[in-house]
Each structure stands twice: as structure tokens, then as C-alpha cells.
Amino acid sequence: MLELSVTTACVVFAVSAAVIAVAGSYLSRIADRLADRTRLGEAVAGAVLLGATTSIPGTVTSVVAAADGNVDLAASNALGGIAAQTAFLAIADMVYRRANLEHAAASAANLTQSTLLILMLAIPLVAVHTPAVTVLGVHPATVVLLFAYVAGLRMAGRDRDNPMWQPIVTRHTRRDEPEDDGDHRPLWQLFAVFAALAATIGGAGMMVARTGIVIAERTGLGETVVGTLLTATATSLPELVTTVAAVRQGALQLAVGGIIGGNVFDVLFLSAADVAYRDGSIYHAIGAGSLFWAMVGLVMTAVLLLGLIRREEHGVANIGFESALLLLIYAGAVALMVL
């Protein structure tokens, strides 16, 4: 792969990104059906099924990059993807014409997931300032991230089943209720289709990772720039496609839960990358540019959480205050990185 020309690498990159987008477009439909059939609910299914599966390309990219010693590409792909995917939620808000998306998709589980994401983004930032101690080449922060993820998912599930907080129901609130869409295939067939789509996305993600490394090395753009603007955006295409598709299907909590859950899972890229990186703690090898994107992700998630709590019913020009601010923060962060 490293012997490819820049032109060939770009073509392979574009084709792989297109495969990710097409396969991702079907995931939201299957995930919505599985959410109803398994009684997981849209928010939890979005976090577990959509979030984890659409993150496969990013996981593969970060692990491959870390194993090859491209630390900043691995980290910027993970952390830059979180910022990009949160900005995608603002695009979905503009697609939903009836009301502000964060208002209509009110869910205690999504509040829990957002808070969990802030916690998990803070862990790597703290790990940078701890001793570079590893056990079998793995830093303790990796174990903490995994524990926080599992505990957070359990909390989100409990919040759905026995919520201690309830949103005020308005005429624009979209309730998470099972619907009969006419698809009566056995549950195992739905999971089989879902697994096949996940495998397709994973394979395309591998190609994105390899060609992204080639582009970074041949063009001299740098791993952080390529990771944030190219690989992170390309591997985040499933989130954009599935989120917009879910909004159009009326599965609003699935759409919001998919983005937030995907972002939570994306932080785990660093855990997987730390295991793949064999030269010590990956947290202490990450450059300032990648850490910058962790802080951008923190700020954007805090803004999103404010929007989920405040629940503005109608924004200006069909976009809520939090969505407009998310796009502004992301654009400003990209500008600061490029300049």
C-alpha cells in the first residue's frame, strides 16, 4: 500500500469512503427495526448498535495507524471524528423541519450518554499529565476508559427503563414507541444483515486507514491535518448518513443517540490504539494538535448537552442555538488548525 502513488491512493480513499457512505445508509433502517424488536429503545440502540458499528472504520483506522507508529494520525482520527460527528448533528437538525431536533428527541438516556462522553474525553487529558507507566504496554487510563464505557452504558439502560427524569411532552416531542414497518423477517436475519453491513464498513475503513497514511506521508500535510480533515471525516460518513436517514424515518432518538453513542465509542479508539502501540503509553506520545481536538470535543459536547437540557422548541431559520454554535465552533477549530 505504501508504494501507491498519491493519485491512486486518493482514488482508493474516495471509493472506500463511498462504500462506507452507501453501507451506512442501510444501517439506520436495520438498527431502528432492531431497536423495536429487541425493546432496547432508540436511544440505547443508537448508542450500542449504530454508535459502535458506524465507528468501525474509525477504530480500524486508529488501530492500524497506531500499530504502524503513526500516533498523531491515530489520535487525531479518533478525536477529530468526535468533533465532526457532533457537527453532523447540527446538519441533521436543519434537515428536521418540524422543530429543533434536540427538543423533539428528548431522552434521559441521551443526557446520560452526553455526560459520559464529557467524562471520557477528560480521561485522556488527565492521563497526559500522569506518569508514563504501562503494564504489558498498556497505560492504566485505557482500563479506566473501558470501565467508564461499560458503566455508562448500564446507567443509560437503567435511565431508559426507570428514569428519574422525564422531559415535558409537547406537541413536537417524538416518543420512542415500537412501530410495525411491515418487516417480519426473523430476528437472526436482521442481525445477519446488520453484521454484513458492519463487515463491509470495516473493510472499507481499513482501506481508508492505509491510504490516509500514504496521503499523509506523500503530501507532507502532516498526520494531524490528514487525520482530522480526511480520515476522520471519511470514517465519520456512516454517522452522517445514518443520522440523516434516521431523522427522515422519524427515529429521532435513534439519530441523536447514534451520534452521541458513536462519539463515546470513538474515545475508545484511544484504548484500542494504546494496545496496538507497542512503544509505551500512547497518551504520552500524542502531540498538542491532537489534544487540541480532545478539548474541542469537550466544548462541543457541553454545548450539545446544554441544548438537550434547554430544549429550544424552534430556532432561527430552522436551526437551534446549539446547532449554530456547534457549526461555528467546528469551523473555527478547523480554521485554527489549518492557519
Residue 298 is predicted with a pLDDT of 93
Reduced to 3 states (helix: H, G, I; strand: E, B; else coil), residue 312 is coil
Q: Which grid coordinates belong to 118?
A: 464529557
Reduced to 3 states (helix: H, G, I; strand: E, B; else coil), residue 220 is coil
pLDDT in tens, 296-310: 999 999 998 988 888
Q: Is the pTM of this model over 0.85?
A: no
Which residue ranges form the domains of the chain, and what is each CATH number?
Answer: 6-166+188-338 (1.20.1420.30)
Q: How far apart are the first and last CA of the chain?
A: 30
> Tens digit of pLDDT per residue, the chain (339 long)?
556 677 888 888 888 878 877 777 677 667 667 766 666 655 555 556 666 666 777 777 788 778 888 888 788 877 888 888 888 888 888 877 777 777 777 777 788 888 999 999 999 999 999 998 888 888 999 999 999 988 887 887 776 667 777 767 666 655 555 555 555 677 778 788 878 887 887 777 677 767 766 776 677 666 667 667 776 776 677 677 777 777 777 777 777 877 887 788 888 878 888 988 888 888 998 888 888 989 999 999 999 898 888 877 765 656 778 888 999 999 999 888 777
Identity (one letter) of the amino acid at 184? Answer: H
Identity (one letter) of the amino acid at 290? Answer: S
CB 273 within 8 A of CB 282: yes
